[in-house]
Amino acid sequence: MSTATAQDAGNAHDGGASPAMTERVLEAVGVAIASGELPPGSRLTLEGIQQEYGISRTVARDTMKVLESMNLVYSRRRVGIVVQERRLWNVFDPKLVRWRLASDRREIQYSSLTELRIAVEPIAAAGAARRASAAERAKLTSLAADLRRLGDAGELEAFLAADIEFHCLLLQSCGNEMFLALEGMVAEVLTSRTRQGLMPFKPRPEALDAHEDVAAAVAGGDATAAETAMHHILDEVRNAMGLH
């Protein structure tokens, strides 16, 4: 441990300086592909990856298998590992979403995700109105009240946290497992909207009203009203995106 680490490169059969080397390599190659540094059609070889990252064949293979399963690459004998065209990527894989948000093509990913939110959240609200548990309905109502309070007080960080909780709770309680899987992405979009100020963000009274309307409609089991109210929340976003 202490001194003998003269050769930190990690090829000294020590299993890797940091744990989970395979993940580090996956991350590195994934980011390179997602960012466009390795454009579609680029060719890699296991040999090359081994050398570049100082790893064994096994780890290089594992990494490529995962990338292949995400449809980021395909591999053919005698040819090597080829980066797929973008059209075929599994763009719903959270890892890929993360990599793309970290790249300088972030904007495309954000607008895709935002449009997805616009599509999904109203239906999720309607689903929640039909299927949420009593506890979930109560929690939504209390979160809407929190939002009002924090918004009026101008506590943006706490407001953001509550906002994320509100939207994620809707996705959870709507009873659609596929919507639930979008939780992390919605949280990411909301966070970035506040932090980076990509969209003008100042809790407008209309938005606060609309959150309360959603909560009330869900509490009352009125699916149509919940859907409409959620549409109102997202209208602001739609306008900011130049849609509508």
Partner DNA sequence: TGACACACAAAGGTAGTATCTATTTGGTGA
Partner DNA sequence: TCACCAAATAGATACTACCTTTGTGTGTCA
- Sorted by sequence, the CB contacts under 8 Å of residue 176 that are 6+ apart come out as 124, 127
CB of 153: closest distance to a copy of itself in angstroms?
34
Judged by CB under 8 A, does residue 53 bind a copy of itself? no
Judged by CB under 8 A, does residue 112 bind a copy of itself? yes
Q: What three-state secondary structure class fits 106?
A: helix
Sheet with 43-44, strands from edge to edge, namely 43-44, 80-83, 73-76
CB of 134: closest distance to DNA in angstroms?
35
Q: DSSP state, 233? A: H
Print the binding letters for residues 60-99 with DNA: x by CB under 7 A, - otherwise.
Answer: -xx-x----------xxxxxxx------------------
CB of 33: closest distance to DNA in angstroms?
15
Question: Between 63 and 114, whose beta carbon lies closer to DNA?
Answer: 63
> Using CB under 7 A, which residues numbered 22 to 41 contact DNA?
22
From 82, 168, 180, 240, residue interacting with a copy of itself (rule: CB under 8 A): 180
Judged by CB under 8 A, does residue 223 bind a copy of itself? yes
- Closest Cα partner for 212 from 180, 153, 158, 166? 166
Q: What is the DSSP string of 50-71?
A: HHHHT--HHHHHHHHHHHHHTT
Judged by CB under 8 A, does residue 162 bind a copy of itself? no
CB 152 within 8 A of CB 162: no
CB 96 within 8 A of CB 72: yes
Judged by CB under 7 A, does residue 42 bind DNA? no
Judged by CB under 8 A, does residue 84 bind a copy of itself? no
d(CA 238, CA 168): 20
User: What's the distance, Cα to Cα, between the start and end of the chain in Å?
Assistant: 60
Interaction site with a copy of itself (CB under 8 A): 22, 58, 61-62, 65-66, 69-70, 86-87, 89-95, 108, 112-113, 115-116, 118-120, 122-124, 126-127, 130, 176-181, 223-224, 243-244
Interaction site with DNA (CB under 7 A): 10-11, 13-16, 19-22, 44-47, 54-59, 61-62, 64, 75-81
